């Protein structure tokens, strides 16, 4: 009986990000640059006395035929919800090369996978962004 009560308490929060209306689209280089700058500001909070901190988030991007991201889904968060939110919001503003073919079978949006990793240390920060066609 206890197992059923505990199982009933488990829930999942799904996080989506959409472009800010009227905001300019950014390219991948701009996303990397802005994410690096934010990471540099966030690392002292993330470290909190530790020698190093790192994490990686996986995001799914839905693109329209022009290559504009229409929606971002946080598939797996890093160890920092704040950085996940920043990365999701930045990814939602992306403009990428139009998908080829223009639309997947069935006419839905084209999808891409984005992995965003970060590393913080007392003397250095690093952010990596990788994109791949979703399967």
Is the pLDDT at 14 greater than 70? The verdict is yes
Range 29-37 average pLDDT: 96
84, 74 Cβ separation under 8 angstroms = yes
The closest alpha carbon to 53, from 62, 44, 61, belongs to 44
Residue 107 has a pLDDT of 66
62 backbone φψ class: left, alpha, beta (φ>0; ψ -120 to 50): beta
Residue 13 has a pLDDT of 79
Q: Alpha-carbon distance 61 to 70, whole Å?
A: 8
pLDDT above 90 as % of the chain: 75
Is the pLDDT at 100 greater than 90? The verdict is no
118, 27 Cβ separation under 8 angstroms = no
Residue 124 has a pLDDT of 94
- As a whole number, the mean pLDDT across the chain is 89
Confidence at 9, pLDDT banded by 50, 70, 90: low
Is the pLDDT at 79 greater than 60? The verdict is yes
Residue 133 has a pLDDT of 83
Confidence at 24, pLDDT banded by 50, 70, 90: very high
Which residues are 73's β-sheet partners? 16, 60
Sheet hosting strand 15-17, strand order edge to edge: 15-17, 69-76, 52-63, 110-121, 125-133
3-13 burial: b if 16+ Cβ within 10 Å, else e? eeeeeeeeeee
């Amino acid at each position: 009986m206890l197992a059923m009560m505990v199982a009933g308490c488990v829930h999942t929060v799904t996080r989506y990000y959409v472009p800010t209306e009227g905001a300019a689209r950014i390219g991948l280089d701009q996303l990397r640059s802005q994410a690096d700058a934010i990471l540099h500001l966030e690392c002292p909070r993330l470290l909190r006395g530790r020698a190093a901190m790192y994490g990686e988030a996986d995001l799914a991007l839905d693109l329209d035929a022009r290559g504009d991201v229409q929606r971002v889904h946080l598939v797996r968060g890093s160890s920092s919800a704040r950085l996940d939110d920043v990365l999701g919001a930045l990814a939602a503003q992306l403009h990428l090369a139009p998908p080829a073919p223009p639309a997947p079978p069935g006419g839905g949006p084209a999808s891409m996978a984005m992995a965003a990793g970060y590393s913080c240390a007392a003397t250095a920060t690093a952010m990596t962004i990788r994109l791949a066609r979703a399967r």
